[in-house]
Structure 1
Amino acid sequence: MKGLTYLFKVLSWIVIAAIVAFLAIAAPILAGFHPVVVLSGSMEPALPVGSMIYYHTCNFEELKAGDVVTFRAENSLVTHRITAVNEVSRTVNTKGDGNSTEDPVPVEEDEIVGKAADFAIPYAGYFVTYGKEPAAIAGMAVILLVDYVLEKIYAGQKGEKKDENKNT
């Protein structure tokens, strides 16, 4: 019983560490940044697959060639670098750093959701993507619950042994 209690205590600390990591990854949201997981290699090596990047809203006038922007393309978000800004048509041309050619269609102002921050967290996207799975959330909850129950049982057994020692 003591070994099982110890195992679940260690697992609980791992779960608590994971929760703290989730909170740290989410912390930039408080400063107005929005997290996005890099899903493809189009921006490698600057933004490796699995990285967590953050973007913030911006005005079109703030954008310039070389900036990395996140924009809507069909039903997904894409993050690419601006190669040219057209003030007249209010569009930007974009290209993934890892791609050999520019994106075929200019991005319109209303499709741009934000400008990427200068920082990214490598591999954090894998962690967040897995951590959002219902099975992972349920598993963490079960570990914490079992640890709590075992702790209560073990504490109760310790109390009974103390009482037995006092009576003898």
Structure 2
Amino acid sequence: MKLLFKIGYYTLALVVLGFGALLLLMQTAILPGYEVRIVQSGSMEPAIPIGSLVVVKKFERYEVGDVITFGGDFASSLPTTHRIISDSISEGKLSYETKGDANATPDEKLVDVDSVRGKVILSLPFLGYLLDFARQPLGFALLIGIPAGFIAFEEIGNIVAEVRNRKKIFSESESI
């Protein structure tokens, strides 16, 4: 039983640390050239389902077939994640034609190379739903705060037990 408790405890600790790290990555640019995003539409299904967490990495060049994230430079616009179906050079400037896998037609506008945020290098289906929930106050409390409090409480209990044990050993050694 004690072994099961330890396994559960360390699993919980890893999950809390993992969620905390992902939340931090989503809010800051700790790793230059990388972004963590949550997919909000079904345009790339079935390859990337709604609610997927995607990791996007900036590259020098992108190829036909790559799934890229672009746009979202303004407060009113969200980044888009679509597949490159062709590229072209016009007036010395590289552009990409993109299309969502689930869309019948290509995107109306070409994507300027400077608008590309990066290539999707990892997609974790449905994990985005959990992270989006964890960004809400209730979600943060349930997924991060309460488990972290449990871990802290358990560790404080371990420290108190160790202090008592050392006091007991010290008092026994003085009486000899």
- Residues 45 and 102 (structure 1), Cα distance of their counterparts in 2 relative to 1, 3 Å cut: same
The letter of the residue matching 2:36 is: P
Q: Residue 37 of structure 2: SS of its match in structure 1? A: strand
Q: Partner of 1:63 in structure 2? A: 62
Q: 2:163, 2:59 → 1: CA distance? A: 58
Q: 2:148 is matched with which residue?
A: 141
| More displaced stretch, 15-24 vs 95-104 | 15-24
- Work out whether 1:125 is the aligned partner of 2:124: no
Measured in 1, the distance between the counterparts of 2:120 and 2:127 equals 16
Inter-CA distance 152–57: structure 2 relative to 1 (3 Å threshold): closer
TM-score of the pair, normalised by structure 2: 0.65
Unaligned runs of at least 5 residues, structure 1: 1-5, 164-168
Aligned-residue identity in percent = 29
CA distance in 1, matches of 2:18, 2:148: 16
Deviation at 1:16, TM superposition (A): 0.5
Whether the aligned pair in 2 keeps the contact of 1:90 and 1:109 (CA below 8 Å) is yes
Deviations 1:108-166 (A, max 9, x none): 2221111222x422233233333444423322332223323444566788899xx9xxx
Partner of 1:81: 83
Q: How big is the shift at 1:19?
A: 3.3
Task: Please give the secondary structure, in 1, of the residue aligned with 2:102.
Answer: coil
Q: How many residues align?
A: 155
Any gaps of 5 or more consecutive residues in structure 2? 172-176
Let me know the Cα RMSD of the aligned residues: 3.7
If each structure's helix is expressed as a fraction of its own residues, which one has the higher value?
1
Counterparts of 1:103-114 in structure 2, within 5 Å, are 103-114=107-118
Q: In structure 1, how many angstroms separate the alpha carbons of the residues matched to 2:144 and 2:132?
A: 11
Question: Aligned partner of 1:108: which letter?
Answer: D
In 2, are the aligned partners of 1:12 and 1:147 still within 8 Å (CA)?
no
**Contact 1:12-1:143 at 8 Å conserved across structures:** no
Residues 51-109 of structure 1 show CA distances to partners (whole Å, capped at 9, x for unaligned) of 222222123xx223222111014532211011221211532221110112222222222
Separation in structure 1 between the aligned mates of residue 64 and residue 7 of structure 2, nearest angstrom: 50
Provide the C-alpha distance between the structure 2 equivalents of 1:32 and 1:91, rounded to a whole number of angstroms. 20
Match of 1:16 among 10, 13, 17: 13
Residue 109 of structure 2 aligns to which amino acid in structure 1? V
TM-aligned CA distance change 1:54 to 1:154, over 3 Å: same
TM-score where L is the length of structure 1: 0.67
